[in-house]
């Protein structure tokens, strides 16, 4: 029997909502555009994102591709995603091609 890998996107999304009332969609979109995660999760999350492609769409919006690393509570996740920026300035995460853990650290406190 082969064990199935967890859906890391869903796991991190649920954790972020529980801890900081911001979903992973919002954290990635905000982080990619501004270089910073939302304030509600900034105490335990950070992002390093690089814009790798951008295209102006026929409707006036912009489609941008990003890749980078999101760190949440010491676990680093590699991601590749697409954002769509609407002509009025609104934006949303339109696709996530990759979201996988890279490394994590564990520690044990001995009393």
Residues 59 and 87 sit within 8 Å (Cβ to Cβ): yes
Give the SS3 label for residue 81.
strand
pLDDT tens-digit series, residues 29-67: 999 999 999 999 999 999 999 999 999 999 999 999 999
In a domain, 110, yes or no: no
Establish if 109 belongs to a structural domain: no
pLDDT score of 5: 63
Q: Which domain holds residue 94?
A: 8-101
For residue 43, being part of any structural domain is answered with yes
Instruction: Give the total number of structural domains in the chain.
Output: 1
- Looking at the domain assignment, is residue 28 inside a domain? yes
Asked whether residue 107 is assigned to any structural domain, the reply reads no
| Average confidence (pLDDT) over 80-88 | 95
Residue bearing tokens 């091609």: 97
CB 100, CB 8: distance < 8 Å: yes
Question: Does 2 fall in a domain?
Answer: no
Q: Whole-prediction pTM value?
A: 0.85
Higher pLDDT: 105 or 13? It is 13
């Amino acid at each position: 029997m082969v064990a199935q890998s967890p859906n890391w996107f869903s796991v991190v999304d649920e954790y972020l909502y529980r801890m900081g009332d911001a979903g992973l969609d919002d954290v990635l979109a905000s982080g990619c555009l501004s270089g910073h995660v939302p304030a509600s999760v900034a105490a335990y999350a950070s992002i390093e994102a690089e814009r790798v492609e951008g295209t102006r769409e026929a409707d006036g919006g912009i489609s941008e591709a990003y890749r980078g690393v999101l760190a949440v509570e010491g676990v680093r996740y590699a991601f590749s995603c697409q954002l769509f920026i609407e002509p009025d300035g609104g934006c949303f995460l339109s696709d996530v091609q990759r979201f996988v853990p890279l490394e994590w650290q564990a520690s044990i406190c001995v009393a």
